[in-house]
Amino acid sequence: MVAVSNIDQDERGYYSDDPVYNISIGDMIRVSCRDADAAESGWCHVRGSDIQVIRACSEEEKERAHDEWIEKKRRERDEAKSAVTTERKAGQDKIAAWFKRYVGDIGLDPSGYSITLAMAVLYDLARTGSMAYGVGGEKEIIHGTWQKPTGLRASSLYNKPESHRNAAMNVVLNAGWAAPIFKNHVEYFQITDNGRAAIGAYENWMEAQSEE
């Protein structure tokens, strides 16, 4: 006999695809392992016919066990999210530190995310030579029709909040990686030699990070 301590449940506390869905944490059960190796290791996949319930928990015990299981899953999810957030912030901090070393003091202290987005803008400008900031589109109804995004807003700055777009453009312009020009009374942004050099330096630095 064994006490059920952990089962693969869905959010309701039941098996999602197993006929023994009424087994609960805390129940005493007898399990028949047909595989000798699995029986020796203590792990085996079972079917409903392989299990005999010796003692079932009370409803209060089942409810408490289910609540504990929900809390455990929530805690595991929060811990996983926290680990991802910590790792992402560490990566962004490295990018911000690289930027400060590379451009020096230009009176700007951007986040790693802003710098990453600024590099995406630079790649667009390197590919096209120059691009307008463009319009956001898609979320703006003009004369009853949807207007498609254009310029940088259609590519590297697509679907980004305005504050993120502004932060990225501040990095590009303040670092001297791009310069505004006018064509047909429309403001475009053109990559500079410093911008092309920044792409190379950034790629070399990223490659060095991957080799560490």
pLDDT by position in tens, the chain (length 212) = 556 656 554 444 444 344 455 666 677 777 676 665 555 555 666 666 666 767 777 777 777 777 887 888 889 888 888 888 888 888 899 999 999 999 988 888 899 999 999 999 999 999 998 999 988 776 556 666 767 888 999 999 998 999 999 999 999 999 999 999 998 888 999 999 999 999 999 999 998 887 76
C-alpha–C-alpha distance, residues 168 and 27, integer Å: 57
Task: Identify the CA nearest to 192 among candidates 209, 180, 204.
Answer: 180
Strand pairing partners for 53?
29
Q: What is the pTM of this model?
A: 0.62
Strand pairing partners for 209?
none
Residues whose CB is less than 8 angstroms from the CB of residue 60 and which lie 6 or more positions away in sequence, other chains included: none
Other Cβ atoms closer than 10 A to 96: 18
Sketch out the chain's domains with CATH numbers.
Answer: 2-57 (no CATH), 90-211 (1.10.10.10)
C-alpha–C-alpha distance, residues 184 and 121, integer Å: 22
